[in-house]
Structure 1
Amino acid sequence: MKNRPLLSVCLMVLCIIAFMVVWGRERFIKELRPSPIERYAAEGDNITICGKIYRQEQKENCRMIYLKENSIYSNSKKFQESKIIIYTNSSQKLHIGNQIKVCGKVSFYEEARNPGNFDQKFYYQKQGIHGKVRSDDIQITDYKRNKLKDRLEKFRMNWQKMLQREMGERDGSALAAILLGEKSGMDQEMKELYQVNGIGHILAISGVCFLCWVFLIGEKMA
């Protein structure tokens, strides 16, 4: 090692990087720090949320409603939470931009139990989402909606259904994930293969590019 100073420096840098990733990632990445809901609510607590819908996904056995700008009431405490997901079986018609009030039990995403497995908690933390609520008790408090985003959402869902109908559930869902960034119907095994092989970003980037293209076309035709 004495005769190889460059190797010594490289090893020191690698040790520092490893130390920062293991010990300091929450200090350097804001989204990984404990959020208010993790500090003020416990698993299974009943909470009330008032927030704005910014995205919806239809899963096989439930519906996911993404909320932002949330005010939350839990254990006689009121606090703000940037984002949260509601899981529901309600068929109530909701639109992007609607303000809603939800009552239900809070729970948190799990970390990967084994190395190399999908880390659900880390995946949602990077999006600024630290908790989820299961509830069918949903009230609309403000019917104002974002018409452009709402139409794009419907357009994307209709394309996904068309691809699944024409190509089959498995292949159609995979193509919908690549073209539209809509991964809700994608086979879990196939999704994990993308992530393990380091090409999971294709499912997000392609969808964003496609929606930008649709938006630009719409602007020209308007």
Structure 2
Amino acid sequence: MKNRPLLCTCLILLAGVILSVFAGGSALIRQLRPSPLEIHAKQGEVLAITGQAYKIEKKEKHQAVYLKNNSILQIQKDQKQSFQEPNFILYTDPEIQIHIGNAIRATGELSFFQNARNPGNFDQKLYYQRQAIHGLAWAKEVEVADDSVWKIRDWLAGFRSQWKKALIEALGEKDGNVLSAMMLGEKSEMDPDTKELYQASGIGHILAISGVCFLCWVSLIGERMA
């Protein structure tokens, strides 16, 4: 082997590839395993959720509050059962003031994400499973249990929201949302037909690359300064 440095290098690279494949496969298997929420709860069941807001997406008629480190209690059963869930999405009235870092208590009706109905369609369930999110609820009651705020992350989220608002005001709703998807990675209010055209043309990645860079930058700053 001493006289064959190229062979030695190739074997090391091959070993690295094999380890990466096994590691990626193990991670994917963990992601696809049923979570405690999927095991214990049912669609439409009313749950009590307690968690910490780490991301907020404001929309015209509601806001999506992403919660982590959740404790979930089934309140409709004779024997109440609680379990832990890593991440969860709570939809609330946009008028309710919630900041990143707040501890939230809420009750709401559980919904699960849908698999792609046809080959090639967007797989909502798989998309959220990879983020360790397995369910959502429309809040019936919401309470801020702890008003601690991650100031830097909260400021950056507000900055992103204002930037999106400015783009829509300057370019109109359709073009503003397209540019918002490209620059900020915010595709939630983009016109579905326009999104499908980008994907069908094979240029859907344009809507994600810049946004991913922006979100990574926001996350890194938030983690360092929170």
Instruction: Please give the residue correspondences for 1:78-117 in structure 2 after superposition, counting only pairs within 5 Å.
Output: 78-117=82-121
Matches for 1:18-167 after TM superposition, within 5 Å: 28-74=28-74, 75=77, 76-167=80-171
Aligned equivalents of 2:43, 2:220: Cα separation in 1? 44
Amino acid of the structure 2 residue aligned with 1:193: L
Verify the 8 A CA contact 1:60 1:185 in the aligned structure 2: no
Normalised to the residue count of structure 1, the TM-score between the two structures is 0.79
Give the CA deviation at 1:193: 3.3
Residue 27 of structure 1, CA deviation: 8.6
Of 130-139 and 195-204, deviating more is 195-204
Q: Relative to structure 1, is the Cα distance of residues 173 and 54 closer, same or farther in structure 2, using a 3 angstrom cutoff? A: same
State the alpha-carbon separation in 2 of the partners of residues 157 and 187 from structure 1: 18
Deviation at 1:188, TM superposition (A): 1.6
Residue identity in the other structure for 1:115:
P
Gaps of 5+ in 2: 1-24, 222-226
Alignment check: 8 A CA contact 2:87 2:133 kept: yes
Report if the CA contact (8 A) 1:26-1:33 is conserved: no
Q: How far off its partner does 1:180 sit? A: 1.0
Distance change in 2, residues 1:213/1:38 (3 Å) = closer
Name which of structure 1's ranges 179-188 and 80-89 shifts more when overlaid on structure 2: 179-188
TM-score by length of 2: 0.77
Identity of aligned residues (%): 51
State the alpha-carbon separation in 2 of the partners of residues 107 and 214 from structure 1: 29
Amino acid paired to 2:52:
K
1:210 aligns with 2:214: yes
Tell me the distance in 1 between the aligned counterparts of 2:160 and 2:119. 34
Residue 135 of structure 1 and its aligned partner are, at CA, apart by: 1.1
Distance apart, 1:68 and its partner CA = 0.6
Q: 1:133 to 1:211 in 2, by over 3 A?
A: closer
How far off its partner does 1:168 sit?
Answer: 0.8
1:144-187 CA-to-partner distances (Å, cap 9, x unmatched) read 11101100000000000000010110111110111111222211
Structure 1 partner of 2:224: none
Q: Is the 8 A contact 2:61 2:94 kept in 1?
A: no
Match of 1:171 in 2: 175
Mapped contact 1:58–1:184 kept (Cα < 8 A)? no
Inter-partner Cα distance in structure 2 for 1:160 and 1:79: 37
